Amino acid sequence: MASYIEGSLLDDETILHQGNISLWSMFPLIFFGVILAPVVIGLVLLIIAYIRYKTTELAVTNKRVVVKTGLISRRVIEINIAKVESIEVQQSVLGRVFNYGSLSIAGTGFNQAPIPNISDPLGFRKALTQAQAK
């Protein structure tokens, strides 16, 4: 099964960088899911964490930034590379230690688009900045 991003690529569009949600940001769900696994609620927490991880897609292409979240209720953010004005990286102390954080991408004509809890937010920002330079 092709991912949402691969299925939405334009004819001459290529993926330059793919990101994903950080497992560290889901630590409470996973921790309590494992602890409570013998009880039904533990399995529900683990299933929620798995679905959240598998249904979040992040990519920088040579034309745009694409962020897709959700399984049943889907949220998609697509921003043309040329329209991106600024990228803000937010990392807590734990985020810096475990290399995860949030990005806020501001573009022309709309407010900031938040991208929470991604792995290697500085690498994602670098890929986006390099794509803009090309």
pLDDT of residue 16: 93
Mean pLDDT calculated for residue range 124-129: 93
Is the entire prediction scored with pTM above 0.85?
no
Closest-CA residue to 77 (of 110, 120, 102): 110
- In sequence order, which residues have a C-beta less than 8 Å from that of residue 3 and are 6 or more positions away? 57
Does pLDDT of 52 surpass 70?
A: yes
* Token pair 């921790």: residue: 31
Q: What's the burial of 92, exposed, middle or buried (CB within 10 Å: 0-12/13-18/19+)?
A: exposed
Which helix or strand (DSSP H or E) is residue 57 part of?
Answer: strand 57-61
Return the percentage of the chain with pLDDT > 70, whole number: 97
pLDDT of residue 2: 67
Mean pLDDT (the chain, rounded): 90
Does pLDDT of 125 surpass 90?
A: yes
What are the sequence ranges of the domains in the chain? 16-133
Q: Which fold has domain 16-133?
A: PH-domain like (2.30.29)
Are 16 and 60 in contact by the 8 Å Cβ rule? The answer is yes
11-20, 43-52, 101-110: least confidently modelled range: 101-110
The CA-based dihedral angle spanning residues 73, 34, 93, 115, taken in that order and rounded to the nearest 10 degrees: -10
Per-residue confidence band for 89, with pLDDT thresholds at 50, 70 and 90: very high
Strands across the sheet with 84-90, in order?
84-90, 100-107, 110-119
Does pLDDT of 109 surpass 80?
A: no
